[in-house]
């Protein structure tokens, strides 16, 4: 008998019929003898609908109130799944994040889990119940509801698996696992059988939306093996995210990630002196602009160019902030480009093999795709390119790194 934590995403519980299908899957597992804790997201577009309702009432809704509001979506689906399990003849109970003992800090909208008090969870499991936990939410010290940010139910599931010492953590979604690239962009993409935590993190943060990056971090921290698989195609094996042990696998590019919509801002002719970056990026953060990649060019005559990317929705605000700063920091000008995207090559093998970067740049050049900006990590190379060439870049790189072959 194993202890299993499962997570079902919003598209898996979008309607009453979907919820009944999920209940049958859980029931099969339970009848096979496993203890099951299932984490659920809100039904379908519920979260977006609630956000829209809030914005009609207040364009800048209070983050505390927003969290309480959004948390109801997962509570609704958790109770319905519990009812569906009872209709299947099983004993089940739904728990809110608070009832499941998920204690967080008080950073509304992107709270982090501080600890999980598993007393009630253990009690319900001992009583033979399937426990359904409302994902994406917790409770702060002050007994206020918090949410973990979009995709937070993944984090709930992995953290519960760690706290409950579960034998498996299974993330069920509407795709068959982690692909070598987004199959909607690259028809040759195929699901990976497994992938390391670090690679998965790089893929998740550079555009692969299947898995919440923080969930992967928690998995890495507590060594939780995470299976990402299809809710409605039980035959597909899915992808196991785990601590990579096979040295051979470490020598390959594992996947191509991409982002369709980013904007780029370059501050020209900034004096290259200590503290200059802070003087630019602190006001941006204070203005609510989330900055993605930052690149600073080598300086010429003690002047340098600083380039960073933001989401297109933040571009106007970013330019306002920078233009206001310009006189005091002594920059010579600002240029921006709104219609860009990124393409990233990810794989632990790249850390020690410089040839990967060269092959990436040559592939883009061969396809006449201009590189606007480059940033790298140990196991990732990201190029900023024209938005309308992102798809071409993904397909070309997928072929160039032989990901089509499996």
Residues that bind a copy of itself (CB under 8 A): 16, 19-20, 50, 53-54, 56-59, 61-62, 64-66, 68-69, 71-72, 75-76, 78-80, 82-84, 86-87, 92-94, 96, 99, 120, 143-145
Nearer to a copy of itself by Cβ, of 46 and 180: the residue is 46
Nearer to a copy of itself by Cβ, of 57 and 235: the residue is 57
Nearer to a copy of itself by Cβ, of 152 and 196: the residue is 152
- Residue 158 Cβ, how far from a copy of itself at the closest point, in Å? 24
- Residue 62 Cβ, how far from a copy of itself at the closest point, in Å? 5
Nearer to a copy of itself by Cβ, of 101 and 391: the residue is 101
- Residue 43 Cβ, how far from a copy of itself at the closest point, in Å? 9
- Residue 17 Cβ, how far from a copy of itself at the closest point, in Å? 8
Q: Which residues on adjacent β-strands are paired with residue 40?
A: 8, 134
- Residue 30 Cβ, how far from a copy of itself at the closest point, in Å? 16
Q: Which burial class, exposed, middle or buried, applies to 122 when counting CB atoms under 10 A from its CB (0-12, 13-18, 19+)?
A: middle
Nearer to a copy of itself by Cβ, of 76 and 295: the residue is 76
- Residue 134 Cβ, how far from a copy of itself at the closest point, in Å? 9
Nearer to a copy of itself by Cβ, of 66 and 322: the residue is 66
Nearer to a copy of itself by Cβ, of 56 and 328: the residue is 56
Cα–Cα distance between 391 and 32 in angstroms, integer? 44
Nearer to a copy of itself by Cβ, of 123 and 279: the residue is 123
63-87 helix and 16-31 helix, angle to the nearest 10 degrees: 60
- Residue 166 Cβ, how far from a copy of itself at the closest point, in Å? 23
Cβ-based neighbour number of residue 201 at 10 Å: 24
- Residue 86 Cβ, how far from a copy of itself at the closest point, in Å? 5
- Residue 37 Cβ, how far from a copy of itself at the closest point, in Å? 16
Nearer to a copy of itself by Cβ, of 84 and 318: the residue is 84
């Amino acid at each position: 008998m194993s202890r299993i934590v499962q997570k079902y995403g919003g598209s898996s519980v979008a309607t009453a019929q979907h919820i009944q299908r999920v209940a049958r899957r859980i029931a099969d597992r339970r009848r096979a003898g496993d203890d099951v804790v299932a984490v659920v997201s809100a039904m379908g577009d519920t979260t977006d609908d609630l956000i829209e309702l809030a914005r009609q009432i207040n364009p800048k809704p209070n983050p505390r109130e927003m969290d309480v509001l959004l948390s109801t979506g997962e509570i609704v689906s958790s109770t319905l799944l519990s009812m569906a399990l009872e209709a299947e003849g099983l004993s089940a109970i739904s728990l809110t994040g608070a009832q499941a003992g998920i204690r967080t800090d008080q950073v509304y909208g992107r709270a982090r889990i501080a600890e999980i008090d598993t007393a009630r969870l253990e009690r319900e499991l001992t009583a033979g119940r399937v426990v359904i936990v409302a994902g994406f939410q917790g409770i702060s010290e002050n007994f206020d509801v918090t949410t973990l940010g979009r995709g937070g139910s993944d984090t709930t599931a992995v953290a519960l698996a760690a706290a409950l010492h579960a034998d498996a953590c299974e993330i069920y979604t509407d795709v068959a696992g982690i692909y070598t690239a987004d199959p909607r962009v690259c028809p040759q993409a195929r699901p990976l059988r497994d992938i390391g935590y670090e690679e998965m993190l790089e893929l998740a943060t550079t555009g692969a939306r299947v898995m919440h990056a923080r969930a992967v971090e928690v998995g890495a921290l507590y060594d939780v093996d995470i299976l990402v698989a299809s809710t409605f195609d039980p035959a597909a094996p899915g992808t196991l995210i785990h601590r990579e042990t096979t040295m051979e696998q470490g020598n390959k590019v594992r996947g191509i990630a991409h982002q369709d919509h980013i904007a780029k801002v370059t501050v020209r002719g900034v004096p290259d002196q200590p503290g200059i970056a802070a003087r630019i990026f602190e006001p941006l953060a204070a203005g609510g602009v989330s900055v993605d990649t930052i690149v600073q060019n080598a300086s010429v005559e003690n002047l340098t160019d600083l380039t960073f990317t933001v989401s297109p929705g933040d571009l106007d605000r970013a330019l306002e902030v920078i233009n206001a700063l310009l006189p005091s920091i002594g920059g010579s000008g600002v240029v921006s480009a709104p219609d860009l995207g990124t393409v990233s090559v990810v794989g632990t093998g790249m850390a020690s093999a410089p040839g990967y970067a060269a092959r990436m740049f040559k592939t883009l050049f061969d396809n006449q795709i201009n590189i606007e900006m480059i940033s790298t990590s140990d196991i990732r190379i990201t190029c900023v390119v024209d938005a309308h060439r992102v798809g071409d870049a993904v397909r070309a790189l997928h072929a160039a790194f032989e990901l089509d072959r499996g």
